[in-house]
Amino acid sequence: MIEIGSAVDRVKVGDWVCLPFNIGCGFCENCERGLTGFCLTCNPGTAGAAYGFAGMGPYSGGQAELLRVPYGDFNCLVLPKDTEEKQLDYVMLSDIWPTGWHATELSGLKPGESIVIYGAGPVGLIAAYSAMVKGASQVMVVDRHPDRLKLVEQIGAIPIDDSDEQAVEKVLQQTNGAGADRGCECVGYQCHDHHGRECNHLTMNALVESVRASGGIGVVGVFVPSDPKAPTKLEQSGKMAFDFGKFWFKGQKLGTGQANVKAYNRYLARSIERNRAKPSFLISHELPLSEAPTAYKHFDNRDDGWTKVVLRAA
Ligand SMILES: [Zn+2]
């Protein structure tokens, strides 16, 4: 923290802080209930505000030398004394870890249950890690990229290779034909088949098949109300051919939306402070901010080994 405004009481210059990617006011009806991803104050007319996110208010992005923080006392998570030495762990609290954690919360995961996670990008990997921290008995992660599947194995989860599009069958085999207790969508609307054709319902319908009857599904992969470049009219209008009949017959539950970061980040920070968790395992690269465009290109291309990049402002 290098400067504070006159209305800030709690946070002090010199504090190490971590900021959620979404912005809350702390006093609206949703913030009061811990739903800070859906603040009613910070982006009037909409529920939810965030730094540098289309439709989420007039706030510049957080990947910058400096960040101006509204409602600083509420939004800043003041970090403990060991922050400088563990900063690569704590920086994972701004978005990625709470988002992965949220996916498992939305799914309703309880200790001892099994879970299948679609997508072994950074969110899927840390959702798998979260499930293990929570005591899941079986954690499966579906992807097609060999480097990502290797990471799944490294963190102690079961990699499910979907390059032959047989993921559902493999999950059913792993769960005696019943399906996993819980499932997480960590891919989003740009999911595609093995020919690279985009089709927004693929992972959602695979989850309905892969999760047991009366199980729960958490969706943190991004879906959008309109997608002008999508291949079909239906998808362009933000809709999908969701297998609602099977979903209903199986009596499954579904939770969606961005993570309420503040609902989790303080407690996740403590598990870092007390050496119970080390989310920095995700980080593949540390680069200066000036190399951000190159890093994004590598990440977008799914280039081998580009899992998670930390950008240093100075
Ligand atoms: Zn609010």
Domain CATH code at residue 32: 3.90.180.10
Task: Kindly indicate the confidence band of residue 193, based on its pLDDT and cuts at 50, 70 and 90.
Answer: confident
Domain that holds residue 42: 1-84
Q: Are residues 251 and 140 in the same domain?
A: yes
Per the structure, how many domains does the chain have?
2
Q: Are residues 122 and 246 in the same domain?
A: yes
* Residue 208 in domain: yes
* Residue 109 in domain: yes
* Residue 294 in domain: no
Q: Are residues 219 and 248 in the same domain?
A: yes
Per-residue model confidence as pLDDT tens digits over 69-124 = 999 999 999 999 999 999 999 999 999 999 999 999 999 999 999 999 999 999 99
Distance from the CA of 76 to the center of ligand 1, in angstroms?
14
* Residue 314 in domain: no
114, β-bridge pairs: 138
Q: Are residues 106 and 176 in the same domain?
A: yes
* Residue 309 in domain: no
Distance from the CA of 303 to the center of ligand 1, in angstroms?
38
Q: Are residues 45 and 101 in the same domain?
A: no
What pLDDT does 194 receive?
83
Question: Percent of the chain scored above 70 by pLDDT?
Answer: 100
* Residue 202 in domain: yes
* Residue 266 in domain: no
Q: Are residues 60 and 177 in the same domain?
A: no
Q: Are residues 50 and 168 in the same domain?
A: no
Q: Are residues 74 and 109 in the same domain?
A: no
- Do the Cβ atoms of 142 and 118 come closer than 8 Å? yes
CATH of the domain at 188: 3.40.50.720
Q: Are residues 62 and 180 in the same domain?
A: no
Distance from the CA of 252 to the center of ligand 1, in angstroms?
30
Task: Kindly indicate the confidence band of residue 127, based on its pLDDT and cuts at 50, 70 and 90.
Answer: very high
Per-residue model confidence as pLDDT tens digits over 237-278 = 999 999 999 999 999 999 999 999 999 999 999 999 999 999
Q: Are residues 33 and 146 in the same domain?
A: no
Distance from the CA of 187 to the center of ligand 1, in angstroms?
28
- Written as six digits, the tokens of 205 are 């319908």
Distance from the CA of 308 to the center of ligand 1, in angstroms?
30
Average pLDDT of the segment spanning 145-154:
94
pTM over 0.85, yes/no: yes
Distance from the CA of 32 to the center of ligand 1, in angstroms?
7
pLDDT at 314 over 80: no
Distance from the CA of 22 to the center of ligand 1, in angstroms?
10
Task: Kindly indicate the confidence band of residue 196, based on its pLDDT and cuts at 50, 70 and 90.
Answer: confident
Final residue of a domain: which of 58, 84, 110?
84
Final residue of a domain: which of 27, 62, 84?
84
What pLDDT does 212 receive?
98
What pLDDT does 61 receive?
93
* Residue 152 in domain: yes
